[in-house]
Structure 1
Amino acid sequence: MRLSEADHSRVTSAVTRAELSTDGEIVTVVAGRSDAYHDVALHWTVLAMLLVLALLAWVPSPVEWLHSHLIDAWSDTPPRWYLTFALLLMAVTFLAARLLLALDGVRMLLTPRATKARRVHRAAMKLFRTAAEKRTKASTGVLLYLSLAEHQAEIIADEAIHGRVEPEIWGAAMAALIADVKDGRPGDGMAAAVEQIGAILAQHFPRSEGDTNELPDRLIEL
């Protein structure tokens, strides 16, 4: 999902309006996703292979049936047949699982929510350090980060703000953002969250005389 030009204008305008009443600076970033989760795909692939091996150990009759029909119906199935069949079945399972998990939607569906949350937070922190942290004179930058594929967001505040504003205060902004994202309106959600962040910043960091716009207002889409 890509945001429209109207979404970009709406969010940028919301940032500009919010910063009129505060020394705080708001940076907005929207990412299609925060990680490719290829390691998660590999974990599921290995698990599928081990499951095949476990099922074969529990129910070896398919190997015995193949041996009796293809080789010798009157002799016992030799151990090497079990090993060969297991190896072939695991190889097929590996290839099938890798092909299935190459689909982004399948990987996202099978990625645990906790893993997504950690990756989103990690990506947000990296962007915060690059785009907002200590980039203003008074350390009053705030990053609003939305990761669309995970339907998760982060609000990370600079040192001066973090010292005065408890993390729970951002809850209403986060709730407004996520609600609109779930309804398929990420632009509206970002704008609503910016408005609430601006109100909080205006309360704790009202605009002082001579304040300048130190960080860009435009929405950044990755």
Structure 2
Amino acid sequence: MVTIMKKATKLFTEDEIRTIEAAIGEVEKKTSAEVVPVVATVSGRYDRAEDMFGFLLSLLVLGVAWVWLQGIAPTGDAWGGSPMLRLNLPVVLVILVVACFLGMALASHVPVLRLPLIAKREMQEEVESRAREMFQRLKIRKTENATGILIYVSLYEHMVHVVGDDTINAKFSREDWQALCDTIIRGFKDGRPEEGMRRGLLQCGDLLAPHFPIQPGDANELVDTLHLID
């Protein structure tokens, strides 16, 4: 989907944003539901993965130092002095601590480094939690007939999650939402995130329209905006 860490606010051009927002308008011309797309840079903090990277880096640095530097240090007294290791315990501890903190800082500033150390389930939980949070924060739950729907894309985790209000969820299954997510993900994998978003939105409209057709005098309760969150 996305191979490097890219900020959501830098993902689309102005024209692409207008194209996506036009698709929202097209959807809401044929359904009374309110569709809100959100693209976030990352959903979780993943502190444990940063700590793990720092720990593994400290072991690697210590191993390299041990191979290249370890040996018997000469003593000034050839008759009575005891031989000493170049890398004694205090030096080893300093190497471990310094390398660990440097690794944690590096993983914090270069998030792709911690990605292999994060379990898929943890990422899924963080994405779903963040999506529910945005559903509340953007007041999607407050639509008059409980017909709000959030399409949430998280770039770092390479995941898409759909959150529907109660009335919406009563009509659709997990498979319906997964098909929608797959459409969006396919666009990202093909290097066309704007096309994936546009097609996903139109597909969402096709799903919603038979169950929630546009009504005379229907008011647009939520602004047709693509929300980009870094």
Contact 1:151 1:182 survives alignment (8 Å): no
Residue segments in structure 1 that go unaligned for 5+ positions in a row: none
Question: Is 1:155 the counterpart of 2:162 in the alignment?
Answer: yes
1:34 aligned to 2:43? Answer: yes
**Can you list the C-alpha shifts for 1:13-63, whole angstroms capped at 9, x where unaligned?**
11111111211110011112223434421232235446778x79xxx8989
Report % sequence identity.
Answer: 29
The one of 179, 202, 206 equivalent to 1:199 is 206
User: Contact conserved, 2:73 with 2:83, CA < 8 A, in 1?
Assistant: no
- Aligned partner letter, 1:207: I
What is the TM-score of this pair, normalised by structure 2? 0.80
1:106 partner SS:
helix
SS of the counterpart of 2:163? strand
Read off the aligned partner of 2:160 and give its amino acid letter.
Answer: A
Preserved contact between residue 160 and residue 185 of structure 2 (Cα < 8 Å): yes
Confirm whether residue 69 of structure 1 aligns to residue 106 of structure 2.
no
Q: Is the 8 A contact 1:132 1:142 kept in 2?
A: no
Within 2, Cα distance between the matches of 1:210 and 1:176? Answer: 32
1:94 counterpart (94, 100, 107): 100
Aligned to 2:3: none
**Alignment-mate amino acid for residue 26 of structure 1:** V
Higher helix share: 1
Classify 1:45/1:64 alpha carbon distance in 2 versus 1 (closer, same or farther; 3 Å): closer
CA RMSD of aligned residues (A): 2.8
Distance 2:149 2:75 in 1: 71
Equivalent-residue separation in structure 2 for 1:143 and 1:130 (angstroms): 11
How many residue pairs were aligned?
214
1:1-222 to 2 correspondences below 5 Å = 1=6, 2=10, 3-49=12-58, 65=71, 68-71=72-75, 75=82, 82-101=88-107, 102-222=109-229
**Aligned equivalents of 2:124 and 2:106: distance in 1?**
23
